[in-house]
Amino acid sequence: MTISYNGDKKIRTAILGASGYTGAELIRLLMRHPHVEIVLLTADRKAGQSIDKVFPHLGGQGLPDLMALSDVEWAGLDIDVVFCALPHATSQKIIKGILHETGHGFIDEMVIEQPEDYANAIKGSVKVIDLSADFRLRDAKIYSQWYGGEHNAISLQKEAVYGLSEHYKEEIKKARLVACPGCYPTAALLSLIPLLKEKAILKDGIIIDAKSGATGAGRSLKETNLFSEVSEGLHPYGVASHRHAPEIEQELSKAYGDDLLVTFTPHLIPINRGELETIYVNLEQGKTASDLRSILNKQYADEPFISILNEGLVPSTSQVRGSNNVVIAVFDDRVESRAIIIVAIDNLVKGSSGQAIQNMNLMFGFDQTLSLEQMALFP
C-alpha cells in the first residue's frame, strides 16, 4: 500500500548499521529530505558515540547518538521505515524480528499464494529497506548455495520485492520489504534487461568486466583494504565465484524468459568510490549498436537518473561521483555481430544508499528524486 505524506508530516526513520559507508551515505542524503526525520541510528562497534565522532562531516545536525542493536526495543518504537545496512545473515534475523514485533509481520508458517494477498496482509506495516543480500535471491536453495547457510525468514524472502527502482516501480510502491540490488547487478541489469526483453541481444556469451572503488569492500578493518595493499594496483577477486553472479542471472533470466549464465569478473581499483562495467554481448541477427542505443533511450526516456550517451561518447566514474545517476554508452565491436556496453555508477549512491532512498520515495508516494537531486562532483 502506498502512503502519501503531506505538509509537515515526517517519516520517522531508523538506520541500522549507521557507522558503515552505506550508513553514512544514507544519513548524508536523507538530511536533505524534506519529509524525513532520523530517529534511530545503530552501530554496535560505535555504540554510545555521537555521530560527529564517527563521521565528523555529519556533525551538528541534531542526530541521535549511535546505540547497540541489542538495546533497541522495537515494540515500543514509532517508526515508519527502517534502512537495514547490516551484513548478510544478520539482516534476515533482525528484519524478521522487526516485522513480527511491531505487530505486522508474517510468521514462517503463514502461506500466502497470490501476490494480491500480500498487499492485503501488509496494510499499515512498517516499511523495511534492506541493503544486504538476504532477500535479493528468490530461490532459498540458491541463497544457501552462495551464502553458506539456510535462510531463516522464508516467508519474508517470498514477500520481498527486488528493488531495482526503474524496473519494479509498481511493485515497490506496494511493498513493505524491499531488497536493494547489489552495486554490480544494478549497473549490469539497467544496461541489459531492456535489450534482453526486446531480444536485441543473444542470451549466450554475455561477459561483464566490472571495476569498483575500495568502498565496495566495506569499512571494517581488513588487511586487503590497507592503503598500501590497494593503492597503485588493480586486481580481480571472486573470479567465477562472486555472489552477485546469481543475482544478475536471476534478473536477466526473468527478462529474457529463459535461464542464462553470464561471465562476471569484478576488480578492485584504487579509488574511493565509483563503478564502471564493460559488458560484451552478441547481437541478434541484423541488430547494431545503434539499435541497442535506441532501445535504451526508449526504455529510460522518462527516468530522471539514467542517461544514454550519444554515439562515440564514453562514460567514466567522474561523471557520476556522489550522484544517483547512471551513464550508459553502446559501441559496435570490431568483431562482427558483437557490441560493447559501458556503464558507470557511484557504487555508494545508485549502487547502494541512493537507490535505497529512491525506493523509499516510491514506497511513500514521494517524487523519486527527493534528496537525490545533486549532480556529480567533478573533478
Biggest CA-to-CA distance, the chain: 63
**CB 66, CB 41: distance < 8 Å:** yes
Q: Which of 287, 296, 288 is nearest to 315 (CA)?
A: 296
Check if 183 is active-site: yes
Whole-angstrom CA distances from 170 to 161, 164, 224, 350 are: 10, 11, 41, 19
DSSP assignment of 313-336 equals ----GGGTTTSS-EEEEEEE-SST
Selecting among 131, 183, 190, 370, the annotated active-site residue is 183
What is the rounded distance in angstroms from the CA atom of residue 177 to the CA atom of residue 326?
24
Instruction: Say how far residue 365 (Cα) sits from the centre of its chain.
Output: 19
DSSP assignment of 181-220 equals PPHHHHHHHHHHHHHHHTT-B-SS--EEEEEE-GGGG-SS
Which cell numbers in the block locate residue 32? 536533505
* Residues annotated catalytic, as ranges: 183
